[in-house]
C-alpha cells in the first residue's frame, strides 16, 4: 500500500528473537520454525514479515488487527503460511488450546494512525475527532462527547490519561458544548485543553494526556489487553513465549502484574494442606530500546517489552 505515512517497527529483532529463542522447549518442539505463532497486532507488518522469514514451510503465522488499513496491508502478503483476521486480539482466545508456540502483542498506536489526520488521533494535525482503531465499528470520540456526562468525562481523563487537571478539562468541554455545540475536530480539542491546562511537563503538549485517555477509552484498550493476556495462557503450549511491547505505564502495569500473578504458586488458605496451584508463567526479560533505536525512532523511547514463558502447568 503506497501511502505517505510510514511506520518503523519498535524492538523488531528483539521481539522476534524472544519468540523463537527457547532452549527449554520440549524435544518435539525444538525446531521453532515449524510452529504456529500469533501476531496480535499486525499494524504494518514489520514483526509479521520477520517472523515469516524465519518460519519453515510447515510453520504458520496468524495475525489479528481491527484497523481496516492494517488489514489492507496484510492482504498484500501472498504467503500461504500467513492469515489475517479483522478482529481485535481479544479473539485470540478462540484458537485451539495449547496450539501456539508464541504470542506477540505490540500495543498502542502505529505511526500511520497518528500521522493520517483523517483518523483523528493527533493533536498536532487538524482532522475529525475520531480515534477509533476500527473505523467501521463503534462511535467516535466526537460522538461520545456530544452526550457524555461531566463526571464521566473527568473520570476517563483522570483514569486513562493520569491527568491531574481532569476536572477542569471536563468542565471546559461541557461548557463549550453548551455554549457553541460539541467539539468535532482534533485541533478544537487540543486548543481547549491548552487553554485550560496552564502548566505542563517540559516538552509535552498539554493535550497529550487527554488524547491518550480518550483513545484508550473509546477503544476499550485496557479491557481488551486483560482479555488477550488471559487468552494467551490458554492457547500457548508448554514452553511457548508471550512477548508484549507496551508504550505507557497503564499498559505496562497490567502486563507486569499479569506476569507476576501467574509466575508464582498459589495456595488455597481454606485448604492449607492441599497442593498449591502451580505457576503458569515464568518471567524472563524486561527490555527497552537502545540509544541507537531511540535516536533513529524517537517514538520508541517509551517502549517496554516483557517476555514470559508458559510452564507445563
Task: Give the DSSP H or E segment for 60.
Answer: strand 60-64
Of the candidates 120, 96, 135, 240, the residue with the CA atom closest to the CA atom of residue 187: 120
Decide if 222 contacts 250 (C-beta within 8 A): yes
Q: Which three cell numbers stand for residue 206?
A: 498539554
pLDDT at 108: 76
Q: What is the pTM of this model?
A: 0.89
Q: In a structure prediction context, what are the per-residue pLDDT tens digits for the chain, which is 313 residues long?
A: 445 556 788 999 999 999 997 655 554 555 778 899 999 999 888 999 999 999 999 999 999 999 999 999 999 999 999 999 999 999 999 999 999 999 999 997 887 888 889 999 999 889 999 999 998 999 999 999 999 999 999 999 999 999 999 999 999 999 999 999 999 999 999 999 999 997 777 778 899 999 999 999 999 999 999 999 999 999 999 999 999 999 999 999 999 999 999 987 555 456 555 455 568 999 999 999 999 999 998 888 899 999 999 998 6
Query: How does DSSP classify residue 72?
Result: H
pLDDT at 277: 59
Of the candidates 34, 41, 92, the residue with the CA atom closest to the CA atom of residue 60: 34
Q: How far apart are CA 49 and CA 56, in angstroms?
A: 13
Decide if 87 contacts 231 (C-beta within 8 A): no
Question: Which domains occur in the chain, in start order?
Answer: 12-111+221-310 (3.40.50.150), 134-218 (1.10.150.170)
Decide if 129 contacts 184 (C-beta within 8 A): yes
Of the candidates 122, 111, 102, the residue with the CA atom closest to the CA atom of residue 54: 102
Q: Would strands 281-287 and 236-246 be described as parallel, antiparallel, or unpaired?
A: unpaired
Of the candidates 142, 141, 140, 139, the residue with the CA atom closest to the CA atom of residue 184: 142
pLDDT at 272: 58
**Angle CA(234)–CA(240)–CA(244) in degrees, nearest 5?**
85
Provide the 10 A C-beta neighbour count for residue 152.
13
Query: How does DSSP classify residue 203?
Result: T
Q: What is the residue-wise DSSP string for 275-295?
A: PPBPPSEEEEEEE---HHHHH
pLDDT at 145: 97
pLDDT at 111: 78
pLDDT at 297: 86
Amino acid at each position: 500500500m503506497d501511502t505517505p505515512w510510514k511506520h518503523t517497527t519498535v524492538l523488531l529483532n528483539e521481539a522476534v528473537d524472544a519468540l523463537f529463542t527457547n532452549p527449554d522447549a520440549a524435544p518435539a518442539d525444538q525446531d521453532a520454525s515449524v510452529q504456529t505463532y500469533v501476531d496480535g497486532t499486525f499494524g504494518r507488518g514489520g514483526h509479521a514479515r520477520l517472523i515469516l522469514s524465519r518460519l519453515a514451510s510447515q510453520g504458520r503465522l496468524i495475525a489479528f488487527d481491527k484497523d481496516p488499513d492494517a488489514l489492507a496491508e496484510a492482504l498484500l502478503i501472498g504467503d500461504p503460511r500467513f492469515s489475517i483476521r479483522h478482529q481485535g486480539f481479544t479473539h485470540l482466545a478462540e484458537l485451539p488450546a495449547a496450539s501456539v508456540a508464541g504470542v506477540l502483542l505490540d500495543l498502542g498506536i502505529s505511526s500511520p494512525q497518528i500521522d493520517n489526520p483523517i483518523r483523528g488521533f493527533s493533536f498536532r494535525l487538524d482532522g475529525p475527532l475520531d480515534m477509533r482503531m476500527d473505523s467501521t465499528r463503534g462511535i467516535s470520540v466526537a460522538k461520545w462527547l456530544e452526550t457524555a456526562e461531566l463526571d464521566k468525562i473527568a473520570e476517563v481523563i483522570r483514569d486513562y490519561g493520569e491527568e491531574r487537571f481532569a476536572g477542569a478539562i471536563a468542565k471546559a468541554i461541557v461548557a463549550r458544548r453548551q455554549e457553541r455545540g460539541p467539539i468535532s475536530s482534533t485541533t478544537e480539542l487540543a486548543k481547549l485543553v491548552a487553554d485550560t491546562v496552564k502548566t505542563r511537563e517540559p516538552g509535552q503538549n498539554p493535550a497529550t494526556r487527554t488524547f491518550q485517555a480518550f483513545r484508550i477509552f473509546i477503544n476499550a484498550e485496557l479491557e481488551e489487553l486483560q482479555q488477550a493476556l488471559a487468552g494467551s495462557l490458554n492457547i500457548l503450549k508448554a514452553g511457548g513465549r508471550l512477548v508484549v511491547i507496551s508504550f505507557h505505564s497503564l499498559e505496562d502495569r497490567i502486563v507486569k502484574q499479569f506476569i507476576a500473578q501467574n509466575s508464582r504458586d498459589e495456595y488455597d488458605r481454606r485448604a492449607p494442606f492441599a497442593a498449591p496451584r502451580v505457576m503458569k508463567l515464568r518471567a524472563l526479560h524486561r527490555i527497552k530500546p537502545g540509544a541507537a533505536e531511540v535516536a533513529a525512532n524517537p517514538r520508541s523511547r517509551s517502549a517496554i517489552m516483557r517476555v514470559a514463558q508458559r510452564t507445563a502447568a
